[in-house]
Chain A
Amino acid sequence: MLPVPYRVTDRRVETRDSATLRLEPVGVPVPAFRAGQFGMLYAPGIGEVAISISAIGSDGALLHTIRDVGAVSRALHDAQDGSVLGVRGPFGTDWGLETAVGCDLVIVAGGVGLAPLRPVVLGALARRADYGRVVLVAGARSPEEFLFREQLADWTARPDMEVDQTIDQPAIGWDGPIGFVTEPLGWLELDPQRTIAFVCGPEPMMRFSANVLLDKGIPAEQIRVSLERNMQCGVGLCGHCQLGPLLVCRDGPVVDYTVAAPLLAAREL
């Protein structure tokens, strides 16, 4: 599959090592992304990485939030307005917002896990009446490491949304909770039958959060996580993203916890 050329039309710095790129198609766009899916973003000559969609522009523009952790992601993270990148996709399973209509949504984000979850929040707010409670619990190491800080402030101010941002490390001047993301998650009183949870972040964070939700009586089928593995082809042909029986690019990244639990519990799977 050939990458499709997309131009960077806006670059917004999120944190010291993350930036959100707004991409617009040079010619024919790729098919529409759904929340939870990812694209393979190509930095010409350097390489490709899998990056989840972090917002879908009304005009079809793609917003991807990229953290600089390696050679390819650095090149993408550093891309300035006007540069041309390649996009392949959309790939993978999505968060399935339409199947959560009528339910309370509990969105649990750890670190940059907030990026793949942002479309869930935006999707729910776009059709607010379709959902019950919309609760976001976001954890980060420190206050300046939250993504989308302006948007988080907007969401916090909304009366129809509940937002808790919690930090791992003590910080002066922070008047929000201090503790691991599972702690404010644990304070919530939820209606287990009505609740669908969307969890994204490092694997241990997802496991710990899922355990808190299971303890509250939320069935595993109602807990959705976003799995991650290194990807190369994005279409189930290269074998790198295997996690047990799953090809994460094709059978994931979003799966429910009945599928994910045994896989996350196995060592070195």
Chain B
Amino acid sequence: MLRNEPQMTDALDHFPLLHSLSAAQRAKVVSAAREVTFPARHRIFDEGQPARGCWLIRHGRVALDALVPGRGTIIVQTIGPGDVLGWSWLVPPRQWHFGAVTIDAVNAVEFDTTRLRALADADPALGYPLVLGLFDAVLQRLQNTRARLLDLYGSPRER
């Protein structure tokens, strides 16, 4: 339980997302954050819904899924402690591209992204490092996805 601001700030220190922000900037961002918990198998958001909210996962795992007609709901990625859930709020069309459902019980720091965007719009000096932090998270996810695409475990006989 993150009972107070110092505890929240401490918790946020674990996430590289905010490392480039100054203490003052971090304090502003903290004002848009709150701790949340979800039970297992709880749908956090659905593909296609308006994208609001960003979660820094502290404990537990979340599945990103997509509905493929004829195949059903496919889980395409699992994210876990230390990961950032939800990027689509940052740029138009601000719609979730995948769904997110908890696998086990999840504890996370949830950001009010409407407020975050307002803070960033008002103060680009805060907005820029925030976006860089998000970019880094996206980059990591992309590298991991590319590693999966390399099909490294495939047999030479298949090529």
Contact between A and B in the complex (any CB pair below 8 Å):
yes
Q: Which residue of A lies closest to B157 (CB)?
A: A69
Q: Which residues 171-214 of A have a CB within 8 angstroms of B?
A: 172, 174-180, 182-184, 186-187, 189, 201-202, 204-205, 208
User: Digit string of B52-96 for contact with A (CB within 8 Å is 1, else 0)?
Assistant: 000000000101000000011011111111110000000000000
Q: Which residue of A lies closest to B149 (CB)?
A: A168
Count residues of A near B (Cβ-Cβ below 8 Å). 35
Q: Please give, as numbers and ranges, the residues of chain A lying within 8 Å of B71 by CB-CB distance.
A: 172
A172-B78 contact given A112-B153, A208-B143, CB 8 Å threshold: no
User: Digit string of B145-159 for contact with A (CB within 8 Å is 1, else 0)?
Assistant: 101101111111100
Tell me whether B144 is interfacial, beta carbon within 8 Å. Answer: yes
Whether B144 lies near A184 (C-beta < 8 A) is no
Separation in Å of the B17 CB from the closest CB of chain A?
14
Tell me whether A252 is interfacial, beta carbon within 8 Å. Answer: no
Separation in Å of the B121 CB from the closest CB of chain A?
32
Q: Please give, as numbers and ranges, the residues of chain A lying within 8 Å of B72 by CB-CB distance.
A: 172
Whether A178 lies near B75 (C-beta < 8 A) is yes
Q: How far is the CA of A141 from the CA of B71 in the complex (A)?
A: 19
**Interface residue range, chain B:** 20 to 34
Whether B157 lies near A168 (C-beta < 8 A) is no
A183-B144 contact given A69-B155, A111-B153, CB 8 Å threshold: yes
Separation in Å of the A147 CB from the closest CB of chain B?
11
A170-B147 contact given A69-B157, A141-B153, A186-B82, CB 8 Å threshold: no
Tell me whether A159 is interfacial, beta carbon within 8 Å. Answer: no
Q: How far is the CA of A189 from the CA of B14 in the complex (A)?
A: 11
Whether A183 lies near B78 (C-beta < 8 A) is yes
Whether A201 lies near B147 (C-beta < 8 A) is no
Tell me whether A17 is interfacial, beta carbon within 8 Å. Answer: yes
Q: How far is the CA of A187 from the CA of B143 in the complex (A)?
A: 16
Q: How far is the CA of A187 from the CA of B144 in the complex (A)?
A: 14
Whether A68 lies near B157 (C-beta < 8 A) is yes
Q: How far is the CA of A208 from the CA of B82 in the complex (A)?
A: 17
Q: Please give, as numbers and ranges, the residues of chain A lying within 8 Å of B147 by CB-CB distance.
A: 180, 182, 204-205, 208
Q: Please give, as numbers and ranges, the residues of chain A lying within 8 Å of B103 by CB-CB distance.
A: 175
Q: How far is the CA of A176 from the CA of B79 in the complex (A)?
A: 11
Q: How far is the CA of A205 from the CA of B152 in the complex (A)?
A: 8
Whether A189 lies near B81 (C-beta < 8 A) is yes
**Extra pairs beyond A110-B152, A140-B153, A183-B144 (4, CB < 8 Å):** A178-B78, A183-B78, A186-B80, A187-B61
- Residues of chain B whose beta carbon lies under 8 Å from any beta carbon of chain A: 61, 63, 71-72, 74-83, 103, 143-145, 147-148, 150-157
Closest 9 CB pairs of A and B: A111-B153, A187-B80, A177-B78, A202-B152, A168-B148, A180-B144, A180-B147, A187-B81, A141-B153
